[in-house]
């Protein structure tokens, strides 16, 4: 009888102990004015237990007894951690988070806080460029801004970035947006050579960028007139900070790249089998047995594992009246096609000076140089394009293991020798300079004049050997030199007035 009594008692103690390990907490989530917040998430810190508030802002949550902190979050409000203690009911007040609205956005007529903008503007900060290594800053923007679609014209290292803001604006005219760098409206560039479109902004070092603002609609781009019909991309580069000790940064990056997927093509045996079948279908005698035919993987002869390395260095700082920034970068990248490579050297320096309490002046300069070795397009003799249609049942290499230079199929050239005997090199040199003077005679009145200039030079050289399609029979070479000089001078007066704590003009 004592055993029968002991067993139910033991079970009762165990069940009571297990039940005591958890507790139920109820509460209400409101804003600072006491308005209930529906849809707020309430999570127990330290465990994957949570719930959401109902239409009255109330919630009920069962949590382990040892947990005593709730994490409450709601869109548009600052996250808050609430300590429960021994309470079974708690009221949590969330504070509105307006950081996004206070963000400063660079537009055509200066800087404004986002909450005062009526136009459609998307922004990306410097963090987007510091966390990745990309040859051009446009590639770091892909997928980061709504209404902005970016694709590359080709797989080349210096391929043009095709940007569409809110779709296609014209069927026959250009659809590329207008680019503005530190207030300077960039001129059109002569960067289409032998049918290959290259990136006109390859010179801009992504690590020097402080922010990128995309102006999308007519209200935001009105100051640029018809030039901004396809949208405007405003790039602001980094500057130093006043009253800050010198800060230096050095970084190095290295990595490999390779093609993600090759074309699925026939080998020599498969090609010969299909060729023989086609011959039999029209009553002809097949050329040769498939087993006796050679097999060449043209893609494998063209590809390599690419290598990229990038080194950057910068220093910035300032005193109470002066601030400065100096940065430099070097990038070298070998593409996954043999003989394709890209090198970029860039330097940027800026200094700004406060003259008394009302005058401020600044100057910046950004020289750069880019070397680009690339293949041509289809009509100029693309080795990669030919690899997709050139017959695989031929010998590609001679007795020494080099690409055959003799006509293989009755005409000169093959994908392998075209890649080796064809040189297309572009050298781009650019200098961009800005200077400004700002005067604020009154607290709410400011005059600013700014002048910017750019010198842009593109040197293109080509050589097509006699073994290539484009160079047969004696070879061919050419050289071109194109230059662009552009300057802008802008003067702007701004007057702002705020009264009553809410009204702004």
How far apart CA 145 and CA 213 sit, in angstroms, is 10
Q: CA angle at residue 77 from 73 to 80, to 5 degrees?
A: 50
Per-residue pLDDT of the chain (505 residues; tens, 9 = 90+): 444 443 443 333 334 444 447 888 899 999 888 888 888 889 888 877 888 898 888 999 888 888 888 999 887 788 888 888 888 888 999 887 654 544 555 555 555 555 555 557 777 888 877 767 777 888 777 777 777 887 877 777 877 778 888 777 666 566 788 888 888 888 776 555 555 567 778 888 888 888 888 888 777 777 888 888 888 888 889 989 888 999 999 999 999 888 888 888 998 889 888 988 998 899 888 877 877 788 889 888 888 898 999 999 999 999 999 999 999 999 999 988 888 899 999 999 999 999 988 999 999 999 999 998 877 554 445 778 788 888 888 888 888 888 888 777 666 778 888 888 888 888 989 999 999 999 999 888 889 999 999 998 888 888 888 877 777 778 888 888 888 899 989 898 888 777 766 666 7
Predicted confidence at residue 366, as pLDDT, reads 94
Compute how many other C-beta atoms are within 10 angstroms of the C-beta atom of residue 48.
Answer: 6
Residue 305 CA to its chain's centroid (Å): 23
Taking the C-alpha atoms of residue 233 and residue 217, their distance in angstroms, rounded to an integer, is 12
One-character DSSP codes across 58-101: EEEEEEETT--EEEEE-TTB--EEEE-TT-SEEEEEEPB--HHH
DSSP 378: H
430, 456 Cβ separation under 8 angstroms? yes
Long-range contacts formed by 385-390: CB under 8 A, 24+ apart:
386/298, 386/413, 386/414, 386/415, 386/418, 387/263, 387/265, 387/298, 387/299, 387/302, 387/415, 388/263, 388/265, 390/298, 390/414, 390/415
Give the DSSP H or E segment for 339.
none
Looking at CATH, the fold of the domain delimited by 18-94 is given as Immunoglobulin-like (2.60.40)
Range list for CATH 2.60.40.1120 in the chain: 18-94
pLDDT of residue 405: 80
């Amino acid at each position: 009888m004592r055993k029968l009594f002991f067993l139910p008692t033991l079970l009762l103690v165990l069940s009571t102990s297990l039940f005591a390990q958890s507790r139920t907490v109820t509460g209400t989530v409101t804003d600072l004015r006491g308005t209930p917040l529906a849809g707020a998430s309430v999570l127990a810190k330290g465990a994957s237990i949570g719930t959401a508030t109902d239409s009255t802002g109330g919630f009920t949550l069962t949590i382990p007894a040892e947990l005593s902190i709730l994490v409450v979050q709601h869109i548009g409000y600052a996250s808050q951690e609430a300590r429960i203690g021994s309470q079974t009911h708690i009221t949590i007040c969330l504070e509105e988070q307006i950081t996004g609205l206070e963000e400063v956005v660079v537009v055509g007529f200066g800087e404004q806080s986002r909450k005062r903008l009526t136009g459609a503007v998307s922004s990306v900060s410097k963090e987007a460029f510091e966390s990745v290594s990309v040859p051009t800053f446009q590639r770091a923007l892909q997928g980061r801004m709504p209404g902005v679609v970016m694709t590359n014209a080709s797989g080349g290292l210096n391929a043009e970035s095709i940007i569409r803001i809110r779709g296609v604006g014209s069927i026959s005219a250009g659809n590329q947006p207008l680019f503005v760098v530190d207030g300077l409206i960039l001129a059109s560039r002569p960067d289409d050579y032998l049918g290959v479109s290259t990136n006109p902004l390859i010179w801009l070092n992504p690590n020097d960028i402080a922010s990128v603002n995309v102006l999308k609609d007519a209200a935001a781009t009105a100051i640029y007139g018809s030039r901004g019909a396809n949208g405007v991309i405003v790039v602001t580069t980094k500057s130093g900070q006043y009253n800050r000790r010198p800060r230096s940064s050095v970084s190095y990056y290295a990595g490999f790249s390779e093609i993600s997927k090759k074309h699925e093509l026939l080998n020599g045996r498969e090609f010969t089998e299909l060729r023989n079948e086609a011959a039999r279908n029209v009553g002809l005698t097949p050329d040769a047995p498939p087993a006796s035919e050679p097999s060449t993987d043209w893609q494998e002869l063209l590809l390599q594992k690419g290598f990229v390395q990038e080194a950057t260095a910068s220093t910035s700082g300032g005193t109470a009246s002066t601030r400065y920034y100096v940065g430099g970068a070097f990038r070298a990248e070998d593409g996954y096609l043999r003989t394709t490579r890209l090198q970029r050297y860039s330097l940027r320096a800026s200094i700004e000076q406060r003259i008394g309490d009302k005058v401020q002046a600044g100057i910046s300069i950004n020289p750069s140089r880019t070397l680009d070795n690339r293949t041509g397009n289809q009509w100029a003799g693309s080795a990669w394009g030919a690899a997709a249609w050139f017959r695989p049942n031929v010998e590609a290499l001679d007795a020494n293991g080099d690409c055959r230079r003799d006509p293989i199929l009755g005409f000169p050239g093959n994908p392998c020798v075209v890649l080796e005997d064809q040189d297309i090199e572009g050298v781009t040199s650019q200098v961009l300079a800005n200077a400004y003077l700002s005067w604020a005679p009154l607290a709410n009145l400011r005059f600013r004049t700014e002048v910017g200039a750019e010198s842009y030079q593109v040197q293109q050289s080509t050589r097509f050997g006699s073994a290539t399609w484009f160079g047969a029979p004696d070879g061919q070479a050419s050289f071109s030199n194109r230059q662009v000089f552009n300057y802008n001078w802008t003067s702007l007066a701004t007057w702002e007035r705020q009264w009553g704590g809410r009204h702004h003009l």
